[in-house]
A and B are shown apart, each in its own frame.
Chain A
């Protein structure tokens, strides 16, 4: 873990500041190891000089001056809240990093914690040299600069984005909410309706698909049905108010609300309007779903309704019996979340959770339900129902139809087991 450089290189850094940083490092370790209980344990070992009735030291001297961080970073005490990167992968160019869902509140994922998946590393692209080419079955093939793209009427929408392999069907199953479904995130996206850009070139009657290509080392290519391109698809240049991060496709990406993440092509440089899909490697060899009979589903675009309890969740620990709010996130590629049910008795009975407004189409929806933990072993889980009436299935229900060689689109319910000592673990593991 690295310090923010603008703090580290500040010659005016004080001993108080170093104390904070070292304290942060200690705390980071405690949080990683012990989850919720880790924070409580550290509080118990805090310097009594800073606790009531004493006045804490950070009130007895001025804080950092304005401008000490030109781009703000989280408190050093939050340095353990980082992307969840798998250890010991054979290579990290085609890999994924997960959002620490269990450490986040609300529905918006901070840009620095948004999940990542790329196939040829993260390119560094000068926007002044980036071009979007639109060609194929159009009246007038066009090339756009980034300035051109930003001249179009803009729009902003909050949508989730989810990798289709989140998680896979085979064991071992992850220990934390992030391990399990951390390849989902949610942001406010700003850009232009793809429909406007396509109309600028003039679609020909035979146009049925748009092949999108990224300007990365994989030249990642996916075919998008024209219906989606003319519906809610966007060309996005900003995320949560600032320009896209390189990991999210800077300077331009495709955003297809509700469709599997891989189709939301990053570093977008080319749109090829065609009559047929291109049948690229990413839509034949990959991102197809093998069935037990050896057949495989192709063009499985939508992410179905899903939810997970993020607090309490795996590797956290309930400090004591008594009141605990159960909270989590739900989402559906088919629209709005209509209802989330929660069970605290291993699925024997279910209660409807409260949904936090706003409940937006194809966005994360925060749900909560109050719970009194009696200190006994318990299994808690959530079940999302979307506006189409579709109900999130159990892992057993999914496996019975699709088998465990199915790789993508696992939207199973994930139950958490709470032990008598408060430790939370994956009940399916």
Chain B
């Protein structure tokens, strides 16, 4: 077989392999690649271990200032609740007839606090706080719940290290858990 034909045959094989690979990856060829910078700009997900927490830090005292300015009008001066949810207290009440679910009593993971405040708070201007101020407000709310000393400063490492009191009480879905015998007559 002439070299030229071998070369063409080899090209065809390579082209087929490429086509097959491309098809396996993108069957329809719809959409464009997302760049790392685009993903970094949009991906604000923080998991329970604190992965993807940004650089920066904030102190309880700075958090107190930010809370007074940005949060207290809805959540109360000490996080006792109002227009917004109660954030403080309730530890030890979950198994009582009147459970009080707050960050301190119910939230299982501390990094979720950063995730939620950054993405959704304050309600009138979400995603407006600096990362430092989100750390600071998180620190202050944890301090109000006696989960952080008043002189503490939070960053990615220290926030991820906090063990929330209610972290181990969540269980999976056991349903169907309620049985109705479906009586038809003389019930």
Q: Which residues of A contact B (CB under 8 A)?
A: 90-91, 93-94, 119-120, 133-135, 139-144, 148, 151-152, 196, 199-202, 211, 213, 217-221, 269-270, 272, 274, 276-281, 284-285, 288, 290, 292-302, 304, 341, 343, 347-350, 383, 385, 390-394, 397-398, 400-402, 405, 409
Contact = CB atoms under 8 A, between A and B. Distances in A.
A202 B24 contact: yes
B180 A383 contact: yes
Contacts of B170: 284, 288, 295-298
Contacts of A140: 25-26, 33
A383 B182 contact: yes
Majority secondary structure of chain A interface residues (helix, strand, loop or mixed): loop
A400 B178 CA distance: 9
Interface in B89-111: 94-95, 97, 99, 101, 103, 106-109
Contacts of B47: 274, 276-279
A211 B51 CA distance: 14
A198 to B, nearest CB: 11
A296 B182 contact: no
Contacts of B42: 133, 269-270
B4 interface: no
Given A217-B120, A297-B173, A298-B171, 9 more contacts: A93-B123, A133-B38, A142-B32, A219-B44, A219-B127, A285-B103, A290-B94, A290-B99, A402-B178
Nearest to B44: A219
B25 A393 contact: no
Contacts, number: 188
Interface in B150-187: 169-187
A394 B68 CA distance: 47
Contacts of B178: 393, 397-398, 400-402
B67 to A, nearest CB: 18
B182 A348 contact: no
B116 A135 contact: no
Contact of A349 (B43, B94, B185): B185
A290 B99 CA distance: 9
B187 A350 contact: yes
A133 B99 contact: no
A221 B187 contact: no
B31 A144 contact: yes
B180 A280 contact: no
A213 B106 CA distance: 23
A272 B43 contact: yes
Nearest to A334: B176
Given A211-B45, A350-B187, A148 B182 contact: no
B183 A350 contact: yes
B119 A218 contact: yes
A284 B39 contact: no
A39 B69 CA distance: 53
B161 to A, nearest CB: 16
A341 B182 contact: yes
Shortest 7 CB-CB contacts between residues of A and residues of B: A294-B95, A294-B94, A219-B119, A281-B116, A141-B34, A142-B31, A279-B48
Contacts of B39: 133, 135, 141
Contacts of A143: 31-34, 38
Given A218-B126, A296-B170, A347-B187, A284 B108 contact: yes
Interface in B56-104: 83, 94-95, 97, 99, 101, 103
Contacts of B43: 135, 270, 272
A217 B169 CA distance: 30
B145 interface: no
B167 to A, nearest CB: 10
Nearest to B98: A405
A344 B108 CA distance: 46
B133 interface: no
B172 A297 contact: yes
B107 A278 contact: no
B38 to A, nearest CB: 7
Contacts of B7: none
A25 B43 CA distance: 50
Given A219-B44, A221-B119, A349 B187 contact: yes
B171 A397 contact: no
